[in-house]
Amino acid sequence: MTQAMLGPETAEQAQILASVETFLARALPPEEIRRRDAAHMPPYDLLAEMGRAGFFALAVPLEHGGLGADWHTVALVQERLGRHAYMAASIFNRVVGFGLMSVLAYGSADQRRVLLPLLMAGEAFCALALTEPQAGSDAAALRTRAVRHAGGWRISGRKCWISDAKGARWLILPARTGPEREGHRGISLFLVPTDAPGIAMTPLPKIGNNCMPSFDIGLDEVAVGDDALLGEEGRGFAHLMSTLHFSRASMAATVTGAAEAALQLALEHARNRVQFGQPIGQFQAVAHRLADLRTRVDLSRLLVAHLARLIGQGASCRREAAQAKIVATETLRDVADAGMQIMASAGYAADSDMQRLWRDSRLYTFGEGANEVLRDSIARDLGLSARNVM
């Protein structure tokens, strides 16, 4: 196997990745991943161990009690987790991309003091409650409303397809606080405890990502204090751009790792499966297909590495985050689909790791921003679209 292009550049990074590999080998061997997938069992029980290992603290600056690693190091961990077990990468991204980065970017001093230690220790995580029945890609169309009352707010509305909501300690929840005609300018963000009175959650069955359950959430006059406001009132849409910036970078790194896993499964099968007197990988149709897939996975790594360095420099990289997310998710989708074709019945078997990657991969091209909408965002960056999209 060739050296991954998004590889460790320092001895410290190599040591961190070795720690990640040790954790994964012990906590999530292949048979345990298959068991959890079949049982629809999220890896919430592994959070504390990941916290003790310092994984979550990597992205937090030293002055806030973290380890102060750069985003390239974070991306290396995300890719390694994604390659081995997407369920571990997904919960890592919940803690880091949704929780830690949001609190660091626009949380108050008190929110940082309370939340950062809990999140870094793996004692809690946040779920992003953005999507509504009529507001997905068009996030500015959301209707959930927060109304001021004595000492805080009352929130009413409905959210849907909220991943890991039941296991989360808090929802990062956008709600309308200004006139509806203000669109994205009338939205604020709230940190809502998931056990608050007035919240009802209903699980939503789906075909993949069994270890990342999704929920329909009803909010009926949910009361929160003034300290639940996350960031500035009326600036919620702008704050969301920051959260999605990190979450898309996280997804790009994670699914690049998953694409590498799918590619390795297909390569192994092509080298070992003999038909017509030779391994099927020696037939040009299969060999060229795998060569193209190898190239696409490596290109995805290059974009992830480039984006990680831009984030580390504090550069504006909305376009690059969209590009990396598009390329990485479509690469995984296509590698998993081609892998299923190459492996044929061996990939279609219920106990095959390829079939899990194949069905799980279909979510990511529309999760956390549909790729069509992200292409519109890139076009806007090029001066070709006037629409204000995420």
pLDDT of residue 179: 78
Record the tokens describing residue 131, joined without a space. Answer: 């999507």
Residues 115-170 have pLDDT tens digits of 999 999 999 999 999 999 988 777 778 999 999 998 899 999 999 999 999 999 99
CATH topology of domain 238-381: Butyryl-CoA Dehydrogenase, subunit A; domain 3 (1.20.140)
Residues in the chain: 390
Q: What is the pTM of this model?
A: 0.93
Q: What is the mean pLDDT of residues 347-356?
A: 96
Question: What pLDDT sits at residue 108?
Answer: 96
Q: What integer pLDDT is reported at residue 389 of this predicted model?
A: 61
> What is the CATH code of the structural domain delimited by 127-235?
2.40.110.10
Question: Residue 253: is its pLDDT beyond 80?
Answer: yes
Torsion sign (Cα): 118, 50, 12, 105? negative
Query: Where along the chain do its domains lie?
Result: 11-125, 127-235, 238-381
264: pLDDT strictly greater than 80: yes
Residue 342: in which H helix or E strand, if any?
helix 318-343
Give the whole-angstrom CA distance, residue 217 versus residue 108: 26
Cβ distance 111 to 125 under 8 Å?
no
**pLDDT tens-digit readout, 275-284:** 999 999 999 9
**Closest to 220 (Cα-Cα) out of 152, 130, 156:** 156
Per CATH, which fold does 11-125 belong to? Answer: Butyryl-Coa Dehydrogenase, subunit A; domain 1 (1.10.540)
Q: What is the DSSP string of 71-115?
A: HHHHHHHHHHHHHH-HHHHHHHHIIIIIIIHHHHHH--HHHHHHH
* End-to-end Cα, the chain, rounded Å: 38
Residue 181 has a pLDDT of 63
Contacts of residue 150, Cβ cutoff 8 Å, sequence gap at least 6 = none
Q: pLDDT value at position 3?
A: 43
**Coil, strand or helix at 162:** strand
| Given the residues 9, 123, 368, 372, the one annotated as active site | 368
Q: Judge whether 368 counts as a catalytic residue.
A: yes
